[in-house]
Amino acid sequence: MREPMTLDRFRALADAYGGVIARWPEDQRNAAMRFAAHPEAVTILQEASAVDTMLDAWSVPAPASSLSDRIAGRRAMPHPSPAGRVRWWWSGIGIAAALAGAASGTAAVATVSPGDAPQENVTSFGAVDLQEG
């Protein structure tokens, strides 16, 4: 279902698409052409056409030739020093050693059972048969 053409709808379309109804969405053009006979609609189209004219006349000045030189000059970044690279290697070695230690500790705990393994009916909190009765 299409929205009926109202003054607010006509103004919104003129603000969005300009003062030439031929540039408006195709499904809105017929209703807009009929509505354009109203004096308020004529004023709205004139205002939108004035904005279109100003936008068409707008020109952006070309950038100064020194701008590209300044941009290219800022782009050149200094290379990191060899001492900085060595620091990064030591950080990586430290992280690798920490991960290797964590992995070997986890493997040791998972595979080696304690020397004083509890008997079959004993838990960490004591004998099971004593707690039930």
Give alpha helix (H) positions in 58-81: 65-75
Give per-residue pLDDT as tens, 24-42: 999 999 999 999 999 999 9
Give per-residue pLDDT as tens, 73-99: 776 666 767 777 777 888 889 899 999
Please state the domain extents for the chain: 7-56
> What tokens were used for 48?
């939108």
Q: Which of 27, 52, 53, 32 is nearest to 42 (CA)?
A: 32
Q: Does this model's pTM top 0.75?
A: no
